[in-house]
Chains A and B, each alone.
Chain A
């Protein structure tokens, strides 16, 4: 079963604009991670935020976490064509697994 739900399912923006994706989850977590996947291939880890953190930055990425609302957001600033990909949030579940949402498909138009 999937714990996270990303919103929107798809997002198309112009190069240079900012892109915001949201993730909601159902049960309490220790951490939440964001991954990127290009063209149905392997996933690349972007950022991990722990349950006691509210915001984290990495380059052009900014992740927020609101445990009271069980939600997280990923902001990509000054988007580039190379940011075109699917973005997934994943939370830690039982049995040491990561539980994933269905992803947001981001398209950056030149």
Chain B
């Protein structure tokens, strides 16, 4: 158990809809990263939040957005869902900026299916 939780576990949406995925980090971890993992692939970095500010972003369009709250929870929002957004979405927390070689602690993921 990593102490990181995600909700919901599974989600089915239709193309064009909006979705919010939630993550609760380990207490004291002020950095959260979000990843998208397509079936059979490695995770792709979406973005990272540090102390409630976006700290870095991967190659994802602006319809992917996030929020981080002072209580160690965070959200990933995806607007105008596309079929290719179907994937496992993972959040990971770490006690400081992940680029400073810290281990990231992953939640179990949310499986999103877009029909």
Q: Which residues of A contact B (CB under 8 A)?
A: 1-2, 4, 30-31, 33, 35, 40-45, 48, 50, 88, 90, 92-103
The interface stretch among B65-73, B77-85, B97-105 is B97-105
Chain B contact surface mostly: mixed
- Known contacts A40-B88, A42-B106, A43-B43; is A98 also within 8 Å of B101 by CB? no
Taken residue by residue from 55 to 69, chain B's Cβ proximity to chain A (1 for < 8 Å, 0 otherwise) reads as 111110000000000
Inter-chain contacts of B2 with A (CB < 8 A): 42, 44
B1 to chain A, nearest CB (A): 10
Q: Residues of B within 8 Å of A, CB-based: how many? A: 35
In the complex, the answer to whether A96 meets B48 with C-beta atoms within 8 Å is yes
- Can you list 30 contacts pairing A with B, beta carbon distance less than 8 Å? A1-B59, A2-B41, A2-B44, A4-B42, A30-B99, A41-B108, A42-B2, A42-B90, A42-B106, A42-B108, A43-B43, A43-B90, A43-B106, A44-B106, A45-B105, A92-B98, A94-B56, A96-B33, A96-B50, A96-B56, A97-B45, A97-B48, A97-B99, A98-B33, A98-B104, A100-B42, A100-B43, A100-B44, A103-B41, A103-B42
